[in-house]
Structure 1
Amino acid sequence: MSVKGIDAQEILVQLKSLLFDNIDLEKKSLLLSVASIAFNPTAWNIVARNEYTNKTITRAFGGNAKYGCYFLALMIFSFGMLRDHLYQQALLEQPKQAILPAEYATIVPAVLFGLGQLFVVTSTWQLGVTGTFLGDYFGILMDARVEGFPFNVLRDPMYVGSTMCFIATALWYERPAGLLISVYVYIVYLIALRFEGPWTDMIYSNRAAEQKKAKSS
C-alpha cells in the first residue's frame, strides 16, 4: 500500500530490520536489564500490599508510618537508579545503528528526555514524597485528587515520562535494541497500573466509607 509515494510496506520492512537485526539476545546485560525493569513495579506492589494489610514496615519503624514510607521511597529510588544503570550498560553492549537522520540525532533525544524528566519531576512535586512512593498503602492519604500539571495533560505522567526517557536514551546511544526495551517498559507499566489502580481506589473507598460511618454515628 502506498500513500502519496510512500510505500508503507517497505517502511514496515525497514523498521523490522532496524529493530530485530540489531539486537543481541545473548548478552547477559540485556537479560539483567529486562529483569530489573520487571522487578521494580512487581516488587513494590507486593511490598505495598503487604504493608497495607500487615503494616510490616511501619512496625519496623516503631509504628511511624511516615518513616516507613520514607524508607520505602529510598529503596524504590535506589533500585530505580540501579535499573537505569543496567539499562545503560545493556545498550552499550548492543549493536549500534543510526536511527534518526544526522540532523535530528541529538536534538530529538535531548528534547524527548527533557520532556520525560519534566513529567517525572513535576509529578513528584505535585504528589510529594508520600504521594509518589505509595504512601496511601501506609495510610497516608491525600486530601484531594491532584489535577494540576502534568496530571491535567496525562493520566499517568510519571510512567509516560519514564518511558520517554528510556526511548530518548536509546535514540541518544543509537541502539535500536533500546527501542524494543522501551516498548517492554511501557507494557510492564500498563500491567502494573492494572494492579495499582483498583487497589488504590479500594483504599480511598474504604476511607470514604469510614468517614461516612463516623459522621452518621
Structure 2
Amino acid sequence: MASKDFNSVLANVDLSSLVDFSKKSLLISIASITFNPTAWNIVARNEYRNKTITRIFGGNTRNGCYFLAVMIFSFGMLRDHLYQRALQEQPRQQILPEQYATIVPVALFGLGQLFVISSTWALGVTGTFLGDYFGILMDHRVEGFPFNVLRDPMYIGSTLCFTATALWYERPAGLLITLYVYIVYILALRFEGPFTDMIYAKREQEKAKAAKSQ
C-alpha cells in the first residue's frame, strides 16, 4: 500500500515545476562541469606525450605544472560560480524538513571541504594538479587520511559540496546537476586511473631495467 502511495506521489510530480530547462544558465553550468575534467585530461595526456606546456616554459616542468594548476583552480572557481548562478534562476522547493534544512547542508559542505583540502595537502600541488603527466612522480603512494577512507576523496568531496549547495539554496535542479557531476567524475576516473597507473608502472619498469644493467 505504501509503495502505491509513493508511486502516486511521483506520478503527480511536475518535473517542470522543479527544474526549468529553458534557462540558459543551467546549460552553461552543465557545459562548464563537462569541460573541466574533459579538458584537463586532454591537456595532461598531450603534455605527457608532447611536453607542450613544458616547452612553453623553457623545459621547466614544475613551472609548467604550476601554470596548469592555476588554470585548473581558476576554471574550477568559475564552474562553481556558474553553478550557483544557475541555481538562483531555478525554482525553489523545500527539500529537507525544516529542522534539517541548515545543519545537513552545512555538515555536507564541511565534510566535502575536508576531503578536498586534506587530499590536496597530502598530495601537494604537483600531486594534486597532474604533476605525474609532467614527469613529476611521487616517491610512494599516499595512504594516510583521506586516502585511507576514500579512493578518490577529492572527487567525492567536490560532489558533496555540490549536494550541500543545492540543499542550502533549496533547488531540486541542483540535485540533478550534482548527479551529473558524479557521472562526469566517474567517467573521468575511467580515463585518469589507468593512464596514471601506466605512468607509474612504466617508471618501475625503467627502474628494474636500470638495476639489471648495473
Does 2:110 align with 1:111? no
Does 2:200 align with 1:204? yes
Displacement of 1:8 in angstroms is 3.8
Does 2:55 align with 1:63? no
Q: Which runs of 5+ in 2 are unaligned?
A: none
Structure-2 separation of matches of 1:117 and 1:180: 21
SS in 2 for 1:39: helix
Does 2:75 align with 1:79? yes
Structure-1 separation of matches of 2:122 and 2:105: 25
Identity of aligned residues (%): 74
SS in 2 for 1:198: helix
1:126 to 108, 111, 122: 122
Aligned position for 2:35: 39
SS in 2 for 1:75: helix
Distance 1:8 1:122, change over 3 A: farther
Aligned position for 1:161: 157
1:22·1:95 contact (CA, 8 Å) conserved in 2? yes
Normalised TM-score (structure 1): 0.94
Q: Which runs of 4+ in 1 moved over 6 A?
A: none
In the TM superposition, what whole-angstrom CA distance separates every residue of 1:150-173 from its partner, at most 9, and x where no partner exists? 100111000000000000000000
Structure-2 separation of matches of 1:12 and 1:70: 52
Aligned residues: 212
Displacement of 1:10 in angstroms is 3.6
Structure-1 separation of matches of 2:7 and 2:28: 29
2:21 to 25, 28, 38: 25
Structure-2 separation of matches of 1:20 and 1:112: 27
Displacement of 1:11 in angstroms is 3.7
Distance 1:158 1:92, change over 3 A: same
More displaced 10-residue stretch of structure 1: 15-24 or 160-169: 15-24
Structure-2 separation of matches of 1:175 and 1:181: 10
Distance 1:159 1:183, change over 3 A: same
SS in 2 for 1:100: coil
Q: Which runs of 5+ in 1 are unaligned?
A: none
Aligned position for 1:101: 97
Distance 1:12 1:192, change over 3 A: farther
Aligned position for 1:184: 180
1:99·1:174 contact (CA, 8 Å) conserved in 2? yes
Structure-2 separation of matches of 1:54 and 1:44: 15
